[in-house]
Every structure is written in C-alpha cells, then in structure tokens.
Amino acid sequence: MLPSADKSISHRAVMLASLAEGESRIHNFLEGEDCLATMRAFSQMGIGIERTAPGELLVCGKGLGGLVQPEKELYLANSGTTMRLMLGILAGQPFIATLTGDESLSRRPMKRVTDPLRKMGAKIQGPEDANFPPLTIRGGKLKGIQFSSEVASAQVKSAVLLAGLFAKGPTQVKEPLPSRDHTERMMELFGANFRKEGKVSVVQRTEKLTPREIRIPGDISSAAFFIVAACLVPDSEVVIKEVGLNPTRTGILDVLKEMGASIALENVREEWEPVGDLRVRSSNLQAVKLTKEKIPSLIDELPVLMVACALARGKSEIRGAEELRVKESDRIRAMCENLGRLGAEAEELPDGCVIRGKEGFRGGKVSSFGDHRVAMSMAVAGLRSEDGAEIAESDCVNISYPSFFKDLESL
Ligand code: S3P
C-alpha cells in the first residue's frame, strides 16, 4: 500500500515554490485540509497554483518580493504548521495580514513564534500579547537574530529560518533537541543562502530562489497507523511503499523495533529526502520506556504508539512529552480517556503517561476530540477491540489523510 503524502513536506513545497521565481511542479502533493489551507493562503496573496491532476500542482512563484497583501484575512482552518511557518514568511513582507483558524488552532500557543519574529522587527498583534490567533502581522525591515529555542519544534525553527530569508545579517537558530529538518533541506534544494554549522542552522538574506520539480514522499506519520496495525493484528504482513525516512522522523521505527516489532526496510534510496518501503509483520510487543530525548523524532506518532503500548506486555512509560498537550487536541488527555473507554489501562502524567498492557480491549464509544491523529489511532485500537471502537467525529481524518478509512479497509 501507499500511505498519504507527507504533510510537513507538502506545506513547505508550496511555500518555497511560491517564493521561487518561476514554475515549480509538485508531484504527490497531499490534498488534505491542512495543506489545502496553505495553498489557499498563497492564492490569496497572488500566487497562481494550478492543480493539473490529482496530487499534481503547478506553482507559478513570483519571487521573494512577489507576494501581495491579501484582501481578506487568511483562514488557516486547523493547520498549526501553516500558521507558524506563514508568520515567518509574512514577517518579511511589507504589508499587513491577519491570520485566523478554527477553534483548535485558536487555542494553540503562538508566542514561541511571535516572540522571535518581533525581535527580528515584525509587528504582531493578537490576544494575550500575540500568543493566540487571530494574529495581525505587519512585516518589514527585519534584522537577523541569534535564536535559541526553548522547545524542540520544527515549526518554531522553520518560522525563524523563513523570516531569515528576508533579514539583514545572518539568522542563527539553535534547538534543544533536533526536530524535523524539512525546511532546511528544502531551502538548500531551492538555492537559499542556508548552511548548517554543527547544530546551528544559519540563513542569510536571499535574493532569489530557483523553481524546482519535486516529488513528495509518503508520510511516515500516516504510515505509522498501518505499521502499528500490522504489528498488532495477528498474521499480518503489510508492505508500505515510498515512505519518507528522514532520520529526524524515524523514531517510531526505532521504538517499535525495541518493543520487538518485525519491520524491514527495503528499496531505501537517498533522494533530497530519503525514501524506502517498509515490510511489517505481526509480533508480540514488549513494554517500553520513552524519555524526552526521543520525543521530537516521533512526536506525531505518540498517540498510535500509546495504542501499541496498551497491547504490549508490561508497563510502558512515556515522559518528556508535554508538547502533546498543545497539539490539535490535548493528546495525552484525549488518548488516555479514549483508551480507558475501550477498557485499556492508561494513566495521565503531566508530561506523558503510564500504560499497562493488556491482551486486547473490550471496545466502546470514543471521541476523536476533533483531532485527526486521535481518530486514526482509535481506529487502530478498534482492530483489537472485541466490540470494536465507535469513533465520534471521525471525518477529521481529512485534515491529514482523506483516504485513511478506505486504505484501512483495503488491508
Ligand atoms: C510539524 C512539526 C511538529 C509536528 C507537526 C508538524 C512541521 O510540530 O507536530 O505535526 O511540519 O513542522 P512542532 O514544531 O510544534 O513540534
């Protein structure tokens, strides 16, 4: 099977292609609601984006100075990635724009991004000192900063690096633990003035980005639902093809292997992002202990990993994962509550959870909490529930994986 295209990379592809000078082609673009919000926002700022076939985009970039002031506010729906990265790009634009989102996005902390961008010279207003949307940003003459992020967040890092393309003087970003590096790879691919100095990313004002033709790999965060499902459902063997294997994203594979999963990598090739196929067979999983060092490399896979822990032998512990509380939902609470409703034993901690594994679940009614990854994780849990899992508000899977239920059924 092929999982849906990578969400993080799809956003960045549209962003960089919009800022490049000329036509970029994007193959295997993720047509989920989050990435469509990014597309819409750039269209509102004057970028021509044509969908030439399903998943195929032709983006007519207008250069780093080519965006125009949007006539209306930019509504970014549920997409935290769009809002945070877009703030970085808008910080460099000589106009005003207002960014809004749905109820979930309106509760997500933005100060982590608006603080450094203000230091660079952007003017940003919004509730609680620009910590929450709606945010109004007036970009302008930026200066480079040396920024040491408190959170290991690719969105924060990316916002500052993108603003750095427009700033006078170098912009340096350091993070406490390595987060996904798609922005850095894509900046290099499009010819930005970017370099890595040890653990520090450095970007300088860039005059021109070169358009590209790129293929988006499959999303390991979407593949994760099938990886865990194949581990958990007896007598399974599933081959998941064309999965992005960027080492900043593959923590889920390390941890599942440590738990005893049978996962083989095949056809691995190094393109601008590494890609390969995964062959997964059912296995008896053992409990695991996760600490904060591992968290950034599997941050979005933690909900489904919690399902795996709830069916593994022994007591698992996940710590250092307090970032989960400020995702599309409070994923610690949402998952512990849902697992409990199925008859599993999952106890909340401020920064994670303790889970005692069982042979199977009873089943029952759960909620997605409007969170796509919670919905998909509970679908995986349903596969090992006697009475199944009935998931309320499950259509939120469209945010990152519109064909999720179809693909799951096909397996
Ligand atoms: C993302 C970074 C992560 C991740 C999110 C996508 C990105 O968020 O959870 O789904 O594309 O940069 P943080 O940067 O907040 O950790």
Per-domain boundaries in the chain = 7-215, 220-410
Residue 105 Cα to ligand 1 midpoint, Å, equals 13
**For residue 183, which atom of ligand 1 is closest to its CA?**
12
75 exposure class (CB count in 10 Å sphere: 0-12, 13-18, 19+): middle
Whether the CB-CB separation of 236 and 282 falls below 8 Å is answered with yes
Tokens (6 digits) for 37: 């919000």
Nearest CA to ligand 1 atom 4: 300
Q: Stretch 37-59: mean pLDDT, rounded?
A: 98
Residue 398 Cα to ligand 1 midpoint, Å, equals 17
pTM value is 0.98
Q: How far is CA 242 from CA 5, 266, 275, 291, 374, in A?
A: 9, 10, 6, 29, 24
CA distance 23 to 26: 10
Residue 388 Cα to ligand 1 midpoint, Å, equals 30
Name the residue of 4, 6, 7, 8 to mutate for ligand 1: max ligand atoms within 8 A of Cβ.
8
Question: Residue 250: left if φ>0, alpha if ψ -120 to 50, beta else—which one?
Answer: alpha
Nearest CA to ligand 1 atom 15: 153
Q: In what order do the strands lie in the sheet with 352-356?
A: 289-290, 315-318, 352-356, 345-349
Q: Stretch 387-400: mean pLDDT, rounded?
A: 98
**CA proximity to 173, closest of 215, 144, 130, 206:** 144
For 111-147, what is each residue's pLDDT tens digit?
999 999 999 999 999 999 999 999 999 998 999 999 9
Residue 348 Cα to ligand 1 midpoint, Å, equals 22
Looking at residue 241, its amino acid is K
pLDDT reading at 283 higher than 90: yes
> Which residues on neighbouring strands pair with residue 242, listed in sequence order?
none
**For residue 326, which atom of ligand 1 is closest to its CA?**
15
Nearest CA to ligand 1 atom 13: 153
Name the residue of 110, 150, 155, 302 to mutate for ligand 1: max ligand atoms within 8 A of Cβ.
155
CA distance 103 to 78: 8
pLDDT score of 152: 97
pLDDT reading at 12 higher than 90: yes
% of the chain with per-residue pLDDT over 90: 100
**For residue 11, which atom of ligand 1 is closest to its CA?**
11
Name the residue of 30, 177, 182, 299 to mutate for ligand 1: max ligand atoms within 8 A of Cβ.
299
Q: Stretch 346-351: mean pLDDT, rounded?
A: 98
pLDDT reading at 236 higher than 90: yes
Residue 323 Cα to ligand 1 midpoint, Å, equals 10
**For residue 154, which atom of ligand 1 is closest to its CA?**
14
**For residue 299, which atom of ligand 1 is closest to its CA?**
9
Rounded to the nearest integer, the mean pLDDT of the chain is 98
Ligand 1 contacts (CB < 6 A) are: 8, 81, 153-155, 158, 179-180, 299-300, 323
Secondary-structure class of domain 220-410 per CATH: alpha beta
pLDDT reading at 240 higher than 90: yes
Residue 158 Cα to ligand 1 midpoint, Å, equals 10
pLDDT score of 140: 86
In b/e form, how buried is each residue of 317-332, taking b as 16+ CB within 10 angstroms?
A: bbbebebbbebbbbbb
Task: Report the alpha-carbon angle 217-221-224, nearest 5.
Answer: 110
Residue 46 Cα to ligand 1 midpoint, Å, equals 26
CA distance 306 to 179: 21
Active site residues: 300
**CA proximity to 12, closest of 69, 85, 68:** 85
Helix (H, G, I), strand (E, B), or coil: what is residue 118?
Answer: helix
Q: How many CB atoms lie within 10 A of CB 160?
A: 28
What's the CATH architecture for 7-215?
Alpha-beta prism (3.65)
CA distance 372 to 80: 13
pLDDT reading at 271 higher than 90: no
